[in-house]
Amino acid sequence: MSSIVSMRWLLARLYESDVVIVDCRFQLGKPDAGQEAYNESHIPGAVYLDLERDLSAPIGEHGGRHPLPDVAQLAARLGQAGIDRTMRVVAYDDQGGAMASRLWWLLRYLGHNEVYVLDEGFTAWKQAGCPVTGDQKVIFPKVYLAEVRHNMVVDVDDVRERLGAAGVVLVDSREAPRYRGEVEPIDPVAGHIPGAINRFWGDGRRADGSWKAAAEQAERFADLSQEDEIIVYCGSGVTATPNVLALEAAGFRNVKLYAGSWSDWISYGENAVATGNEEERKDV
């Protein structure tokens, strides 16, 4: 089954006891906006998990702007939200699926298979006339037992070791001007990891905001070999996760997340930085 589910699919399962809906709305620079939006209205039965408070660790010298959360703390928080490994989890946001994909990836990382992202997000759900509420359900805590899949993630040392290696492809998920180093609105250094190619995560959606089908995702990555190891990164490890989801939909199986991403890479002064377009240089 696809990791993307339709509004119709969720509507039909809205009140099933093994379905947990998670609101992941979040706005960078407005840390309370997601919680406030949830409090105002959300999909009935949804619980709220915050990108920075729940789905990331505190910022340190290294690790990037959204470090991976401590596994034990995340498992405890999931349990508090009424989630265990038997549940089918559906995540949504209003940010094109980026925040929901972060939860999707984290749950997969913890060994959870039945986790999905709602197509199009909350605004589309509301505009379609689907039910919303401001009421918060009573949560019965669970015990979440994580089985971490360490092979899904790489760190800065792994990336350094793989630079220039045959059979390894680095995919930068940021918008092209940031990748090329022309602008950098968030991090203190502009550019990209040497050798990385650019595949903007937002191109995984159609013009109407819906997710592209598997065949369309495969077209985005048609120049890559499914035999290669694909390492995906972005600015802080969040918007890379929609590309991880898209690559898996396209049939790629050896896909890893550089969790610290660009903001971690540049926290080490000795790491090389590239600018411009790598693919244009390869074509010369």
Active site residues: 234
Extract the tokens encoding 215: 């065949």
Q: Which residues of 242-258 are buried (b: 16+ CB within 10 A; e: fewer)?
A: bbbbbbbbbebebbbbb
Q: What are phi and psi of 92, to 5 degrees?
A: -145, 165
Q: Which single residue is written with the structure tokens 């470090």?
A: 67
Is residue 217 classed as helix, strand or coil in its secondary structure? Answer: helix
Angle between helix axes 98-109 and 241-249 (nearest 10 degrees) is 70
